[in-house]
Amino acid sequence: MPQTDVLIIGAGIAGLTTAIKLAKARPELKITVLTKTTEEETNTSYAQGGVAAVWNQEHDTFEKHIEDTLDAGDGLCNEEVVGIVVEEGPERVREIIEWGTRFDKKKGEESYDLGREGGHSENRILHYKDVTGWEIQRALLAQLEHTPNIEFHEHYFAIDLLTQHHLGYTITRVTPGIECYGAYVLNKQTGQIETMLARVTVLCTGGTGQVYKNTTNPTIATGDGIAMVYRAKGRLENMEFVQFHPTGLYNPAGENPTFLISEAVRGFGGILRTRDG
């Protein structure tokens, strides 16, 4: 029965950065990362436009970025969280740059070619061509080679979280202090269900785009982590907040996922019109 100190389910930007930072801070820990497909197949890899951060402080400020975010959120944002994300954003970007992520620079210069996307009043989007997510995923995977205390397993599909329920205790949604001991996972290569025990389990399983008929999310975006928490009687919050991207390429054949037209297109002045103009 496999055992680990930290079990991370999901291998996109959230899962990999969590694993790398833990591995560097606590080299004595055994960290296990699972992904249900291959290492490259994550929502992160499909992201196109870029990462928003206050980078050029001669023209941009945290206050402007916070104001833009609150305005775009139509008053529904958690202001404390917005402040944390905006003010810590540049440092997180520097982190992935130090780990090898490349962003486009201005021709003949060392400064970054900052773009602008919908909702932003300043140019603050760092990007790598139109495959920013792919580049971030590439750099993070390369970092794993320098972190020997991380084990990475492809084709392991997490099914359920292990809690007191599996020890014979009754668990309800109001039970205080539900404990997680790891997960049941399907080894897709052997067809066997394996029990993975962990002192700490971290879910980084991405979104739920595939519950919709039309989505630009890849076929892996099936909300596995959310479903596992729900079945384990855990607490789910803010499930009504789903971002709907307005520019997916119309596909009369109904193929899924549909092709994403980057938000950068609107940032550079693209205007949405009806078929009648």
3-state secondary structure of 158: strand
Asked whether 22 and 33 are in contact (CB, 8 A), the reply is no
d(CA 69, CA 168): 46
Listed residue (183, 200, 143) closest to 23, CA to CA:
143
Domain ranges of the chain: 3-44+144-231
d(CA 190, CA 181): 23
pLDDT of residue 245: 79
Listed residue (35, 3, 1, 2) closest to 144, CA to CA:
35
- Tens of pLDDT, residue by residue over 127-157, are 999 899 999 999 999 999 899 999 999 999 9
- Tens of pLDDT, residue by residue over 47-92, are 888 999 999 988 999 999 999 999 999 989 999 999 999 999 999 9
Pick the CATH number of 3-44+144-231 from 3.40.50.720, 3.30.230.70, 3.40.440.10, 3.50.50.60: 3.50.50.60
Listed residue (60, 57, 62) closest to 82, CA to CA:
62
- Tens of pLDDT, residue by residue over 195-214, are 999 999 999 999 999 999 88
As a residue count, the chain comes to 277
pTM of the model: 0.92
> What residues have CB less than 8 Å from 134, skipping those under 6 apart?
40, 45, 46, 47, 128
Q: At what angle do helices 13-25 and 132-143 cross, to 10 degrees?
A: 30
Asked whether 185 and 173 are in contact (CB, 8 A), the reply is no
